[in-house]
């Protein structure tokens, strides 16, 4: 930082959960971000998990989980407001 800088550094962040990379976070409806998580773990058994960093690893812990504690699906619901699953959060571009 320059010596003359006296302010607080700007901080930027992204909303977690845009699994489809379309600029929105959607829990339900067409092109939602929840279904790719289920597809990543095989699509048939929601308790399956896979390891590794995938786009469907919303919490970036190295595991893709659809159900259970620390699952990736709940973060999407939380980031759209947590109460109404049809809400959508649109990406903000700086």
- H/E run at residue 24: strand 24-26
Q: Is the pLDDT reported for residue 1 higher than 60?
A: no
For the segment 52-75, what is each residue's pLDDT rounded down to a tens digit? Answer: 989 999 999 999 999 999 999 999
Model confidence pLDDT, tens digit, residues 20-63: 999 999 999 999 999 999 999 999 999 999 999 899 999 999 99
Parallel/antiparallel/unpaired status of strands 24-26 and 63-65: unpaired
Task: Answer yes or no: is pLDDT of 2 > 80.
Answer: no
Instruction: Kindly report the pTM of this predicted structure.
Output: 0.81
pLDDT at 3: 57
What CA–CA distance (Å, rounded) separates 36 from 54? 11
Under 8 Å between Cβ of 3 and 69: no
DSSP character string of 31-53? T-SSHHHHHHTTSS-TT-EEES-
66 backbone φψ class: left, alpha, beta (φ>0; ψ -120 to 50): alpha
- Computed from CA positions of residues 64, 51, 58, 19, in that sequence, does the dihedral angle turn out positive or negative? negative
Q: What is the pLDDT of residue 77?
A: 95
User: Average pLDDT of the chain?
Assistant: 89
């Amino acid at each position: 930082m320059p010596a003359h800088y006296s302010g607080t550094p700007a901080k930027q962040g992204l909303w977690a959960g845009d699994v489809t990379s379309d600029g929105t976070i959607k829990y339900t409806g067409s092109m939602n971000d929840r279904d790719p998580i289920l597809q990543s773990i095989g699509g048939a058994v929601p308790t399956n998990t896979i390891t590794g960093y995938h786009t469907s690893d919303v919490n970036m812990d190295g595991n893709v989980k659809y159900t259970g504690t620390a699952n990736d699906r709940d973060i999407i619901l939380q980031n759209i407001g947590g109460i109404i699953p049809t809400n959508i959060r649109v990406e903000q571009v700086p």
